[in-house]
Chains A and B, each alone.
Chain A
Amino acid sequence: MTKEIEKAKIDGTEKNTADTVRVVRPAVDIQELADSYVVRLDIPGAEKESIAAHINESTLTVSAKVQDRFQRDPAIGVDNFPPAEYRREFSLADNVETQTVDAAYELGVLKITLKKKQQFLPKEIKIL
């Protein structure tokens, strides 16, 4: 019996030398299919080149930088919109194939497909 457990990083404020990056935890939907898991994360307005999803040991980490949607007004002099980052981590169960991960970003949603390892796929045994 496999269960997907999630590790959450609740407090994610990191102090850099320049800005304080605000970390946002995106909403996620996870579905289990017969041969794979489908993970959908809501990351609207992410900078495409900065979207990163990697698996380290049995943890999947997804992160992306948020685009600046407002023109920063130099006249105001204060940065009202600190840079933000999407970030979320997941613990993967043993049956997940970590070598091939499929990810697509469309309409602000990142869809990650994780295949299950061969030996865990349902098999039908023929009765002779």
Chain B
Amino acid sequence: MLFRYEPIVFDQMFSRTSPAEWALPEIFTQFNFVDRPNNYPSVNVVENKEGVLVVAEIPGVLKEDVKVQLQDGTLTISGERKQPEEKDSDVLRREIRYGSFSRTIELPESVETEKVTADCANGVLRISLPKREAAKPKEISIR
């Protein structure tokens, strides 16, 4: 029998170095993080009736070193932060994390995969996932 390992639904999405440590009303129940407990890089997920917006903080990562993949209803952000070369130097303080990273988020059925866009500026990766028209809430007027 196959069973998926699902870490805590409200797992720590925000690290202490992220300004995005805000309570987001819509996120409860929707998003399952299917990878093992992993909070790096910091990711914020917001959903409203128009779509889903995913914001990841990836400072120091070049565009060619990060990949955004959509597969089977999940979104995976993966890549590598390369360490800058500095010859003949002593490290006085090291807080920054280098190396490869990967985060996977499960998406709701209503996302229209054809219309997903992503842009990255100043170390912030924003992925916009609009919902299919049919899936958006509609108000039915009572005659």
A contact set with B: CB distance below 8 Å: 4, 6, 22, 24-34, 37-38, 40, 42-46, 48, 66-67, 69-70, 73, 76, 80-82, 84, 86, 105, 107-109
Contacts and interface: CB of A to CB of B under 8 A. Distances in A.
Contacts of A34: 88
B55 A42 contact: no
Contacts, number: 106
Interface of B: 16-25, 44, 46, 48, 53, 55, 57-62, 84, 86, 88-97, 122-124, 126
B1 to A, nearest CB: 40
Interface of B is mostly: loop
Contacts of A22: 19, 21
A28 B90 contact: no
A104 to B, nearest CB: 12
Contact of B48 (A29, A40, A48, A73): A73
A42 B48 contact: no
B136 to A, nearest CB: 15
A70 B20 CA distance: 10
Given A44-B122, A66-B19, A31 B89 contact: yes
Contacts of A38: 86, 89
